[in-house]
């Protein structure tokens, strides 16, 4: 069965070189090319390739941001491509994740592809996903929290500013991003989106709700000592007892 591959790189010449190398392999089918991180997110969700050749640095959303958007647990095999990011190279080596340096060398390319074939054949992609998750933990300390989230609506790719979020709630296999009176669905878990946001600003108040503290108007006491969180929009969300302590920590006050 052929190996399906996706390329995500903002440099046309680099994409073409990788495409030529991939198309020369009899057992590989190139199913897509993306010129930025937003396109890569959409293509990964829709095409579900066996491997993605992912540029480290791309406009709007870099390679690490793409993984955060998709979630390490849903990523295919990954080969990072980069021109000069020394920090990234050290991180890849520590976590045993493959990478290619530009300009691409055919011998090095074939070695990386051989490792991908072995991962897919021996079903070790789950181990790679654990390595990706560990890599994100390593690199996140040196990277800013995302300022935008990539959302696909009615066939269009939109960038939603994190600052504009009022609250987030669960919607089956998706999370619903509520901002400016509108809702946007994003295929993500509550735990996944919580990990990506600044915990000093976004707090889990219920297993199915996260609020932007800047949008909280007041806390209204309810029955049995519980509270409702009232937002500036007028939305009223329950504060669960299990999440009360983390809200107190964020607010620096005891309820």
Which domain CATH number covers 62?
Answer: 3.40.50.2300
- At a CB cut-off of 8 Å and minimum separation 6, what does 184 contact? 151, 153, 158, 160, 176, 177
Q: What is the pLDDT of residue 187?
A: 81
Average pLDDT over residues 122-136: 77
More confident residue, 111 or 92: 111
Average pLDDT over residues 164-193: 90
Q: What is the pLDDT of residue 234?
A: 93
pLDDT at 61 over 90: no
If asked whether residues 115 and 170 sit together in one domain, one would say: no
Average pLDDT over residues 94-122: 84
pLDDT at 179 over 90: yes
If asked whether residues 127 and 182 sit together in one domain, one would say: no
If asked whether residues 59 and 76 sit together in one domain, one would say: yes
In the three-class reduction of DSSP (H, G, I as helix; E, B as strand; rest coil), residue 212 is classed as strand
If asked whether residues 8 and 132 sit together in one domain, one would say: yes
Per the structure, the complete domain to which residue 30 belongs is given by 3-140
Q: Give the model confidence (pLDDT) of 5-15 as tens digits.
A: 999 998 999 99
Q: What sign does the CA torsion over 69, 11, 34, 155 have?
A: positive
Residue 48 is classified by DSSP as -
Number of domains within the chain: 2
If asked whether residues 126 and 154 sit together in one domain, one would say: no
If asked whether residues 133 and 171 sit together in one domain, one would say: no
Q: Give the model confidence (pLDDT) of 242-252 as tens digits.
A: 888 888 888 87
If asked whether residues 213 and 131 sit together in one domain, one would say: no
- Which of 124, 140, 156 is the C-terminal boundary of a domain? 140
The pTM of the full predicted model, rounded to 2 decimals, is: 0.57
Residue 219 is classified by DSSP as E
Q: How many helices (H) and strands (E) does the chain have?
A: 8, 15
Q: Cα dihedral angle (119, 23, 46, 54), rounded to 10 degrees?
A: 60
More confident residue, 1 or 86: 1
pLDDT at 195 over 90: no
More confident residue, 87 or 83: 83
193 burial class (0-12, 13-18, 19+ CB within 10 angstroms)? buried
Q: What is the pLDDT of residue 110?
A: 93
If asked whether residues 50 and 77 sit together in one domain, one would say: yes
Tokens of 37: 């991180």
Write the CA distances from 6 to 47, 75, 110, 190, 208, integer angstroms. Answer: 9, 12, 16, 27, 34
CB 164 within 8 A of CB 178: no
- Which of 105, 140, 175 is the C-terminal boundary of a domain? 140
Any idea which residue has 């198309």 for tokens? 23
- Which of 84, 115, 140 is the C-terminal boundary of a domain? 140
Measured distance CA(48)–CA(182) in Å, rounded? 29
CB 56 within 8 A of CB 81: yes
CATH code where residue 187 lies? 2.40.50.1020
């Amino acid at each position: 069965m052929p190996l399906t591959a996706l390329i995500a790189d903002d440099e046309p010449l680099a994409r073409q070189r990788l495409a030529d190398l991939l198309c020369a392999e009899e057992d590989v089918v190139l199913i897509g090319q993306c010129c930025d991180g937003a396109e890569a997110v959409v293509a990964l969700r829709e095409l579900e390739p066996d491997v993605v050749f992912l540029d480290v640095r791309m406009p709007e959303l870099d390679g690490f941001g793409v993984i955060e958007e998709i979630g390490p647990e849903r990523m295919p095999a990954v080969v990072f491509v980069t021109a000069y990011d020394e920090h990234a190279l050290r991180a890849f080596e520590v976590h045993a994740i493959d990478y290619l340096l530009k300009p691409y060398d055919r011998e090095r390319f074939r070695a990386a592809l051989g490792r991908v074939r072995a991962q897919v054949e021996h079903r070790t992609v789950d181990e790679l996903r654990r390595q990706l998750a560990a890599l994100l933990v390593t690199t996140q300390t040196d990277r800013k929290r995302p300022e935008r989230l990539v959302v696909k609506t009615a066939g269009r790719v939109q960038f939603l500013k994190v600052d504009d979020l009022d609250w987030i709630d669960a919607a089956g296999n998706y999370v619903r991003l509520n901002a400016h009176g509108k809702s946007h669905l994003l295929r993500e878990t509550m735990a996944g989106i919580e990990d990506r946001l600044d915990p000093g600003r976004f707090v889990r108040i219920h297993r199915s709700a996260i609020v932007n503290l800047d949008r909280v108007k007041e806390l209204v006491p309810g029955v049995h000592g519980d509270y409702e969180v009232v937002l500036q929009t007028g939305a009223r969300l329950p504060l669960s007892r299990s999440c009360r302590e983390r809200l107190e920590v964020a607010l620096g006050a005891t309820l």
